[in-house]
Amino acid sequence: MSSTRPGAARPGSAGATRICPHCKTTILESSVVCPACQHHLKFDSAVGQRAAQGTSALRVEGTLRHPSDGEAWEYSMVLSIRNDRDEEIDRKIVGVGAMRPGEQRTFALTVEIFGAEPKSVATGGTRKH
Ligand SMILES: [Zn+2]
């Protein structure tokens, strides 16, 4: 129904996706480098011309540290994407794990935008990289 839903776009159009042959993650058809495993990818020249250069539009990072005593913690990192009608169009568990006393984990989220002018991307309110 929604044109913003992943997988809805036709091959060759904006938002079209494919499967990375290395790590099997769903990525943009136009990706030159897989954002998940960072392998370089082959692509059709017609598709790859469009958006080889991405702009890092958003980066959020935070570190959690377990105090040096007590029981181990478990964590799950959840990622969700909402459209301008506040409808959730994607939701994923990025990773789960445990932190033992004294350990820390740094969680980072980056959003790359393709085919846009760097200045026109951010709408404010969030930390911009
Ligand atoms: Zn990959």
pLDDT digits (tens, 9 = 90+) for 7-57: 467 777 888 999 999 999 999 888 888 988 989 887 655 554 554 567 888
Q: Rounded to the nearest whole angstrom, what is the distance from the C-alpha of residue 41 to the centroid of ligand 1?
A: 8
CB distance 113 to 54 below 8 Å: yes
Strand partners, 105: 64
Distance 46 CA to ligand 1 centre (A): 21
Listed in sequence order, the DSSP H helices in the chain are 45-48
Do 17 and 7 meet the contact criterion of CB atoms below 8 Å apart? yes
Note the pLDDT of residue 1: 45
Q: For residue 129, what pLDDT is reported? A: 46
Q: How far is the CA of 3 from the centre of ligand 1 (A)?
A: 24
Q: What is the pTM of this model?
A: 0.65
Q: Tell me: the pLDDT tens digits for 55-112?
A: 888 999 999 999 988 899 999 999 999 999 999 999 999 899 999 999 999 999 999 8
CA of 89 to the centre of ligand 1 (A): 22
Q: Comparing C-alpha atoms, which of 63, 59, 124 is closest to residue 99?
A: 63
For residue 26, the CA-to-ligand 1 centroid distance in Å is 8
Q: Whole-angstrom Cα distance, residue 129 to residue 118? A: 11
How many angstroms separate the Cα of 17 from the Cα of each of 13, 64, 71, 83, 89? Answer: 9, 33, 42, 18, 15
